[in-house]
C-alpha cells in the first residue's frame, strides 16, 4: 500500500490497526488526533514523512487478524463490541486505579509529591469516563443500533430527539479530547508510566495498570472517532436522502 501524505491518521488506522503501533512509536496521536493528515502530524512532531511512510508500509504488508479490522463491521455490531470490550474493561480498571493511586499517594507521596496529582487526575478521569459511557450506552449507541436494524429490515426511522446523530457525536468527541488531555498529563507526571527505583510492588502495579488503560483507551477512542462515528453519520445521511 502506498502511503499518501494527505491521508488522515484515523483513516489509515481504520483501514488496518497494524499502523497504530507505528504511530505510537513516533508519538503521533491516532485517536483524538485522527483527523490530521499524515503530513500535518509529521510536521507537528518533527518527523520525516519518508521514514514514517516506510515503517507504515512495512507494517501494513503484514496481514492482521480479522478482528483488528473493525472497518468491516456493521455500526450496530461495533457499538456493542465497544460496550462489551472497552466499556467493560474501564468499569473493572477504574475502581482498581482509584484504590491504588490513593494508596501509593498516601504511602509514597512525601518522597514523590507528583503522586498526589496522579491520584486527583485518576479520580477526575474515572468520573468523566463513567458519565461519558452512560451517555453513549443510553443515548447515542441505541440510536446507532436502531439505524443499523432499520437498514437491514428496510424500515423507516423516526427523527431522534437530538435532531441528528452529529450532535451527540460532537459532544462525545469533545469528551474524548478531555480524557486524552488527562491521560497525556498522567503520562508526563509518571515519565510514561515508569516507576522509580524505590517503587514498591503496589507502586509498580499501579503504573503498569495505568499504562494498560492508556493503551486500551487509545484503541477505544480510535474505534469511536475514526470508525463508528463516520459509519453512523453516513448511515443516517442515507436515510435522510431517502425522504
The CA–CA distances, whole Å, from 70 to 16, 44, 227 equal: 9, 28, 7
pLDDT in tens, 186-221: 999 999 999 999 999 889 999 999 999 999 999 999
Judged against a pLDDT cut of 60, whether residue 84 lies above it is answered with yes
Same structural domain, 125 and 215 = yes
Closest CA to 208 of 196, 194, 218, 219: 194
CB-side neighbour CA atoms (13 Å) of 3: 24
Judged against a pLDDT cut of 50, whether residue 67 lies above it is answered with no
Structural domain boundaries enclosing 120: 73-242
Which residue among 46, 68, 90 closes a domain?
A: 68
Interacting residues of 162 by C-beta distance below 8 A, sequence separation 6+:
139, 168
Helix (H) or strand (E) holding 99: helix 88-108
* Residue 1 falls inside a structural domain: no
Closest CA to 101 of 221, 198, 220, 186: 186
Closest CA to 145 of 206, 84, 189, 222: 84
Same structural domain, 126 and 206 = yes
pLDDT in tens, 145-202: 999 999 988 888 888 999 999 999 999 999 999 999 999 999 999 999 999 999 998 8
Judged against a pLDDT cut of 50, whether residue 119 lies above it is answered with yes
Judged against a pLDDT cut of 60, whether residue 64 lies above it is answered with no
Q: What is the pTM of this model?
A: 0.79
Comparison of pLDDT for 87 and 158, the residue scoring more:
87
pLDDT in tens, 229-243: 999 999 999 887 775
Interatomic CA distance for residues 164 and 160, integer angstroms: 7
Amino acid at each position: 500500500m502506498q502511503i499518501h501524505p494527505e491521508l488522515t491518521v484515523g483513516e489509515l488506522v481504520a483501514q488496518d490497526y497494524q499502523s497504530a503501533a507505528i504511530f505510537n512509536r513516533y508519538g503521533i496521536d491516532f485517536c483524538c488526533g485522527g483527523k490530521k493528515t499524515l503530513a500535518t502530524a509529521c510536521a507537528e512532531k518533527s518527523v520525516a514523512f519518508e521514514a514514517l511512510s516506510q515503517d507504515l508500509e512495512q507494517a501494513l504488508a503484514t496481514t492482521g487478524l480479522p478482528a483488528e479490522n473493525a472497518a468491516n463491521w456493521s455500526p450496530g455490531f461495533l457499538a456493542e463490541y465497544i460496550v462489551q470490550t472497552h466499556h467493560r474493561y474501564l468499569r473493572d480498571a477504574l475502581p482498581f486505579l482509584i484504590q491504588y493511586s490513593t494508596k501509593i499517594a498516601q504511602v509514597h507521596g512525601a518522597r514523590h509529591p507528583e503522586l498526589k496529582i496522579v491520584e486527583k487526575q485518576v479520580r477526575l478521569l474515572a468520573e468523566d469516563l463513567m458519565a461519558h459511557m452512560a451517555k453513549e450506552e443510553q443515548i447515542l449507541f441505541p440510536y446507532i443500533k436502531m439505524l443499523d436494524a432499520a437498514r437491514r429490515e428496510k424500515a423507516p426511522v423516526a427523527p431522534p430527539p437530538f435532531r441528528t446523530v452529529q450532535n451527540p457525536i460532537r459532544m462525545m468527541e469533545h469528551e474524548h479530547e478531555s480524557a486524552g488531555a488527562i491521560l497525556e498529563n498522567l503520562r508526563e507526571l509518571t515519565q510514561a508510566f515508569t516507576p522509580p527505583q524505590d517503587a514498591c510492588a503496589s507502586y509498580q502495579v499501579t503504573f503498569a495498570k495505568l499504562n494498560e488503560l492508556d493503551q486500551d483507551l487509545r484503541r477505544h477512542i480510535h474505534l469511536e472517532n475514526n470508525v463508528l462515528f463516520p459509519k453512523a453519520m453516513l448511515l443516517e445521511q442515507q436515510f435522510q436522502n431517502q425522504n
